[in-house]
Amino acid sequence: MDITNSLYSAADTAIDTNTPSSNDGKSISDMFTTLLVAQIQNQDPLAPMEASQFVTQFAQLSQVEAMQQMASLTAAAAAMQESMLVVTLGSQVGSQVMVAADTVQLDGETVNGGFVLEDHASEVTLVLTGPDGTEHRIELGAQEAGEVGFAIDPEELGLPPGKYAMRVDTNTGEKVRTEIQGELQGVRLGADGRVILSVAGIGDISTADITRFLGRPNSANLFTFKEQT
C-alpha cells in the first residue's frame, strides 16, 4: 500500500468531515486532533512524521480559524453599524433632503431641485423626458458658475403625472448632476442588510444618494440653491 497516499487520504477525510459547516460547532483545535489521530494511524512506522510537521499544520489551521473569526466579527460590526444608522436616520423622517437623481416622479405638486455649474454658461436648459419619450424643455437662461436652483410646476408646464427622466443641457457641454428636494418618508433595512431610504417624489434610494439634509418644513432657508424666477 502507498503509505503517503493513505496519509493524505486520511487527512482529507478528517478535514472534510469536520469542517465548520458540518461538524456541529467543532473548533479548529478539534479538527487538528482528528487530523493528528488519522495521520498517526496511517503513517509509515519505519518513517514516522516529525513533530515539527504537526506543529506547522496546527499553526496553519489556527491561522484559518483566526481569519474566520475576524470575518465574523467584521460582518457583525457592519450589521450593527447599519442598524444604528437606521435608528439615527429614523429621527430625520419628515425632514427635507436633497437627493442626487436623474429621474423625478410628478404628481401635480411643484418639485424643487438644483445642480452645480463648474463654469459660466450662457444657455442652460432643464430637459424632462416623459414616459412616452416626449421631451419637455425648461429654459433657465444664462447662469454663472455655482449653485443653480429650479422648480418644476406640472400644472403650469402641462405635465401629466408620471416618472420623468431628467438632465441639464448647457451650451458648454458641461455634464452636471441634478438633485431633487423631497421629504424623507421612511428608513428601513433591505434584504441585503443595507439601509434604504424612501423619499417623496423619488422613491427608494441608498444613503449615498443623499447630498444634504435641509431640516423640517418649518425651518428657515430650507432650499439653499439660487432659485430661478
**Architecture in CATH of 96-215:** Sandwich (2.60)
Catalogue the long-range contacts made by 37-45 (C-beta closer than 8 Å, 24 or more residues apart).
38/10, 38/11, 38/13, 38/14, 39/7, 39/10, 39/11, 41/10, 42/3, 42/6, 42/7, 42/9, 42/10, 43/3, 43/7, 44/3
CB burial of 42-61 (b: ≥16 within 10 Å; e: otherwise) equals bbeeeeeeeeeeeeebbeeb
The dihedral sign for the CA sequence 18, 24, 26, 28: positive
Give the per-residue pLDDT at 86: 60
Report the C-alpha gap between 180 and 104 in whole angstroms.
Answer: 8
Phi-psi region of 29 (alpha: psi -120 to 50; beta: other; left: phi over 0): alpha
Give the per-residue pLDDT at 34: 75
Give the per-residue pLDDT at 19: 45
CB burial of 79-113 (b: ≥16 within 10 Å; e: otherwise) equals eeebeeeeeebeebeebbbbbebebbbbeeeebbb
Catalogue the long-range contacts made by 9-12 (C-beta closer than 8 Å, 24 or more residues apart).
9/42, 10/38, 10/39, 10/41, 10/42, 11/35, 11/38, 11/39
Please tell me the pTM assigned to this model: 0.56
pLDDT tens-digit profile, the chain (229 residues) = 443 444 444 445 444 444 444 455 556 667 666 766 776 677 766 666 666 666 676 677 777 777 877 887 777 676 676 667 666 676 778 889 899 999 998 988 999 999 999 999 999 999 999 999 999 999 999 999 999 999 999 999 999 999 999 999 999 999 999 999 989 988 887 887 788 888 887 889 888 888 888 887 764 444 445 445 4
Give the per-residue pLDDT at 171: 95
Give the per-residue pLDDT at 42: 75
